[in-house]
Structure 1
Amino acid sequence: MPRLIHDRITWLTYAQLGVWGFFLYGFGPVVPLLRDEQGTSAAVASLHSTSVALGALIGGYLFPLLTRRFDRGPVLWCSLAGIAVGAIGLTTLRPLPATLAAVVVAATFGTMVVCGVNTVLADHHRSAAPAAISEANAACAGLGVLAPLVIGLAVSAGIGWRPALAVEVALIALVALAAVTFRVRLPQAASAAAAAETGSRRLPRAYWLAWALMSVTGSIEICLSLWGADVLRTHAGLSRGAASAALAAIVGGMFLGRLVGGRIALRVAPVPLLLGALSVSLLGFTLFWAFPVGWIAVAGLMIMGLGNAMHYPLGISIALAAAKGQADRAAGYSSYAMAVGSGIAPVVLGWVADGVGPHLAFLLLPVFIAVSALLALRLGRILRPRVSATPPPTPAPV
């Protein structure tokens, strides 16, 4: 069984991904509040999600190019500074074009942080990479769970969401200070010559199936993040502040799911574990959608978070393992999958919600879960022959 060692490099990457999680999971509850401030429709407000998608495309394109030129460490630290710039822009600017631009900046650099952390952990932990990536995303959700709570409390207290989201800048400064204090340096990637050689190879079919899987599961998460509060307000009867704060339930579920899932990933193959996670997501969605009672809906969100927790860590782990020797390139391309999910699904859901209401529009989510399960089954069939074709170990001589 693989063993996961928690050294200083591991803890630093967890913290780097965690501060991005605070912004990402705080951004979701902010979108309905921005819609109210700017007087736009749900479809127009969902353009902020499209800005995340645009930033993901830009970040995914730039990441492999920049890491070949400057290596992963400098790229990661510059990306964290870029997130701070985007957060400052979003919390100080008010017109719709300005907030959209600020989100593009934050998402561009946030995507490069995600790519950098995933590739560092994949190279650093090898066979234990799925567990390490799961725990890193647990750190992301762990800090992320605080954001909806802080924003909901700030809105309820009458000071607005902007000061709460501005905490992101202080968190980034703290991570940088900790790295300097404890003298932690991120390991270098493969040489430029090796990267150029592997970059000319085609990525295998298993990688592209994992890519498609991440785009669909990403659609589930972003739709919940952006429009889950609206369903809680219109169907479960929660106030604006309470609905924003209640989204912490799904992030809390993801935090717990990734902590536990990281341990399970050391013992269970990725595809069966992913199918189990999708089943838990479907159960949570049923409770969230079917019952117009606040506490039951919030409990459904937490259960859905437990299932959603392992969608991305398992998807990216499979993708990086399938792209042997091309980790930076594969990680960059994987951000395109997330861009497809965050750029299309929430806009479609917002457009449907403008016509039939957010509650009925959310029936798109079980469709996404079903498609994800079909992709996972197909991926399992492709990967299984590789496992069965592996020759058994030669017995040691007596």
Structure 2
Amino acid sequence: MPDTPTAQEVRQIRPAPEARVFSPAAVVASCVGFVLIGALQALYGPAIPAFRDEFGLSPSAAGLGLSAHFVGGVAGVLLFDRLYGRMGNRRILGTSYLLMALGAAGFALAPNWPAALAAALLAGLGFGGIDYGLNQLFAVGFGHRSTAMLNILNAHFGIGAILGPALVAAVGAEHYPALFLAFAAANLPLLLCLRGVRDQVPQPGSGTTGTTGTTGTTGTTGTTAGGSARGRSLGSVLAVFVTLYVLHVGIEAGVGGWEPTHLETVGYGAGAAATATSVYWLMMTVGRFLVAPLALRHSPQAIITVSCAGMTVCLLLASVPWLAPYAYAGVGLFIAPIFPTGLPWLNAAAPRARRAGALVIAASMIGGVAAGPALGKAIEWSGVRAVPLLLCAVSAVCLLATLWLIRATRTDPPAL
């Protein structure tokens, strides 16, 4: 019996319908949960003027709210990874929703800025648990549809990220406590839907993930999504996956943070630059919905390769001023599938590395935090006009990492 089953064998051992991880109601609730975590992350930035007025903060001090949230998110991913398999899935998700609700309510009612930061850290802890828990369960819980379902799940995060700033604009930044309290309350009904989540932990690499189940499609015939080349160590495969996640999330955050400045520098008005940036985030959400049906026919490797190549070309075109707004929208479209599509590939490529998913999800958060300072230093040296070229170089590294992973995960499992 070979260590890595063929694509045909994977199709034969898909879980029976009665062994499904999510009921239909739980799937809907999970998507709503991702809308909420996307909205929470996006609420901090637009509310910064109100933080500054209420607590008398400098811009850098006000920005610590989102930083505390991300620090809590990384801690939540790592903490709940330790508990994954020891606690039931329902308890992990339920605890995460409660922590996020308590943190959001605490942030709204905080009497001073240190208390607000502690509450943001608590909310981030729950955020990380939900991000990790649902991504992990969706990656192994839908058989050959896992890649498609992960893209749909993460598309709802984008809906929340668009909705959060819109709500702040509608009610006014000074009313941010009411928004955080409403967000906290919205978490609570989701607890009722956890009964539809299977409590037993699915095991990655057991045939629930890894291939599209479609023969005749490039990258799927005769191999799984996750076999790896003989002699490639598990550590090196994981290291390259982590690199891919850190860099692509760095690009995602870099475009979102610096696109308005770059567009204004090359001659666009502030309103047009802001609108183009909104379109970039919208295209990320649209891209995940669009790739869901494609994921049923094409392998994760093929999707991520096309995504990285398209992202690289679009960033190169963004250096041309009259093309820049459209090219940035293309970046959003191409970068969209990478995060959710890579998780089933990772689970199949390293089925014995139980913590692989936690490593890359935590790495993605670290990439988002590190992108701002790192890109800022590079811009100090090269100028704002070089933003798309700097990000293009990083995107090219993502493409090289993807090609290396395809070669490294082609046949046998990684050597321990």
Q: Same-fold call, TM > 0.5?
A: yes
Once the two structures are TM-superposed, the CA of residue 222 in structure 1 deviates from its matched residue by 2.4
Contact kept in structure 1, 2:33 and 2:190, CA below 8 Å: yes
Once the two structures are TM-superposed, the CA of residue 343 in structure 1 deviates from its matched residue by 2.9
Q: Match of 1:195?
A: none
Counterparts of 1:318 and 1:255, CA distance in 2:
21
Once the two structures are TM-superposed, the CA of residue 143 in structure 1 deviates from its matched residue by 2.7
Q: Match of 2:350?
A: 323
Contact kept in structure 2, 1:214 and 1:338, CA below 8 Å: yes
Alignment partner of 1:274 is 2:304:
yes
Q: Match of 1:39?
A: 58
Counterparts of 2:291 and 2:159, CA distance in 1:
14
Alignment partner of 1:305 is 2:320:
no
Q: Match of 1:169?
A: 184
Contact kept in structure 1, 2:308 and 2:399, CA below 8 Å: yes
Please, which of 222, 240, 243 is the counterpart of residue 209 of structure 1? Answer: 240
Q: Match of 1:141?
A: 158
TM-score of the superposed pair, with normalisation by structure 2: 0.73
Once the two structures are TM-superposed, the CA of residue 140 in structure 1 deviates from its matched residue by 1.6
Once the two structures are TM-superposed, the CA of residue 16 in structure 1 deviates from its matched residue by 2.2
Task: Tell me the alpha carbon deviations over residues 105-149 of structure 1, each in whole angstroms, 9 at most, x when there is no partner.
Answer: 232221111111122222321332211111111122123222233
Alignment of 1:108-147 (within 5 A): 108-147=125-164
Contact kept in structure 1, 2:254 and 2:372, CA below 8 Å: yes
Contact kept in structure 2, 1:149 and 1:245, CA below 8 Å: no
Contact kept in structure 2, 1:18 and 1:139, CA below 8 Å: yes
- Alignment-mate amino acid for residue 343 of structure 2: I
Counterparts of 1:325 and 1:94, CA distance in 2:
47
Contact kept in structure 2, 1:60 and 1:336, CA below 8 Å: yes
- Alignment-mate amino acid for residue 305 of structure 2: L
Contact kept in structure 1, 2:151 and 2:291, CA below 8 Å: yes
Contact kept in structure 2, 1:86 and 1:106, CA below 8 Å: yes
Contact kept in structure 2, 1:207 and 1:322, CA below 8 Å: no
Alignment of 1:307-386 (within 5 A): 307-324=334-351, 326-327=353-354, 329-351=355-377, 360-361=386-387, 363-386=389-412
Alignment partner of 1:8 is 2:15:
no
Counterparts of 1:203 and 1:19, CA distance in 2:
35
Contact kept in structure 2, 1:218 and 1:338, CA below 8 Å: yes
Deviates more, 1:24-33 or 1:140-149: 24-33
Task: Tell me the alpha carbon deviations over residues 227-276 of structure 1, each in whole angstroms, 9 at most, x when there is no partner.
Answer: 4455566663225xx86676442232122111111111121122221121
Cα distance 1:173–1:343, how it changes in 2: closer, same or farther (>3 A)?
Answer: same
Contact kept in structure 1, 2:262 and 2:385, CA below 8 Å: yes
Once the two structures are TM-superposed, the CA of residue 380 in structure 1 deviates from its matched residue by 1.1
Once the two structures are TM-superposed, the CA of residue 174 in structure 1 deviates from its matched residue by 4.3
Counterparts of 1:282 and 1:34, CA distance in 2:
37
Q: Secondary structure at the match of 1:38?
A: coil
- Alignment-mate amino acid for residue 104 of structure 1: L
Contact kept in structure 1, 2:246 and 2:367, CA below 8 Å: yes
Q: Match of 1:392?
A: none
Alignment of 1:22-171 (within 5 A): 22-27=39-44, 29=46, 38-40=57-59, 50-93=67-110, 97-98=114-115, 100-155=117-172, 159=174, 163-164=178-179, 166-171=181-186
Once the two structures are TM-superposed, the CA of residue 203 in structure 1 deviates from its matched residue by 4.9
Q: Percent identity?
A: 24
Q: Match of 1:196?
A: none
Unaligned runs of 5+ in 2: 1-6, 204-232
Counterparts of 1:31 and 1:89, CA distance in 2:
17
Counterparts of 1:308 and 1:29, CA distance in 2:
24
- Alignment-mate amino acid for residue 160 of structure 2: L
Q: Secondary structure at the match of 1:112?
A: helix
Contact kept in structure 1, 2:139 and 2:343, CA below 8 Å: no
Cα distance 1:307–1:250, how it changes in 2: closer, same or farther (>3 A)?
Answer: same
Counterparts of 2:298 and 2:396, CA distance in 1:
22
Contact kept in structure 1, 2:97 and 2:191, CA below 8 Å: no
Unaligned runs of 5+ in 1: 192-201, 388-398
Q: Secondary structure at the match of 1:384?
A: coil
Please, which of 252, 258, 269 is the counterpart of residue 237 of structure 1? Answer: 269
Cα distance 1:355–1:204, how it changes in 2: closer, same or farther (>3 A)?
Answer: closer
Task: Tell me the alpha carbon deviations over residues 290-345 of structure 1, each in whole angstroms, 9 at most, x when there is no partner.
Answer: 437xxx76544432221121110122222222231555x22222233123312322
Once the two structures are TM-superposed, the CA of residue 284 in structure 1 deviates from its matched residue by 4.4
Deviates more, 1:275-284 or 1:130-139: 275-284
Q: Match of 1:184?
A: 196
Counterparts of 1:46 and 1:336, CA distance in 2:
20
TM-score of the superposed pair, with normalisation by structure 1: 0.76
Instruction: Name the structure with the higher helix share.
Output: 1
- Alignment-mate amino acid for residue 240 of structure 2: L
Contact kept in structure 2, 1:131 and 1:261, CA below 8 Å: yes
Counterparts of 1:312 and 1:284, CA distance in 2:
18
- Alignment-mate amino acid for residue 209 of structure 1: V
Contact kept in structure 1, 2:97 and 2:188, CA below 8 Å: no
- Alignment-mate amino acid for residue 175 of structure 1: L
Contact kept in structure 2, 1:149 and 1:248, CA below 8 Å: no
- Alignment-mate amino acid for residue 285 of structure 2: F
Contact kept in structure 1, 2:90 and 2:197, CA below 8 Å: yes
Counterparts of 1:46 and 1:346, CA distance in 2:
12
Once the two structures are TM-superposed, the CA of residue 213 in structure 1 deviates from its matched residue by 0.8
Q: Match of 2:4?
A: none
Once the two structures are TM-superposed, the CA of residue 173 in structure 1 deviates from its matched residue by 3.2
Q: Secondary structure at the match of 2:346?
A: helix
Contact kept in structure 2, 1:121 and 1:133, CA below 8 Å: yes
Contact kept in structure 2, 1:151 and 1:245, CA below 8 Å: no
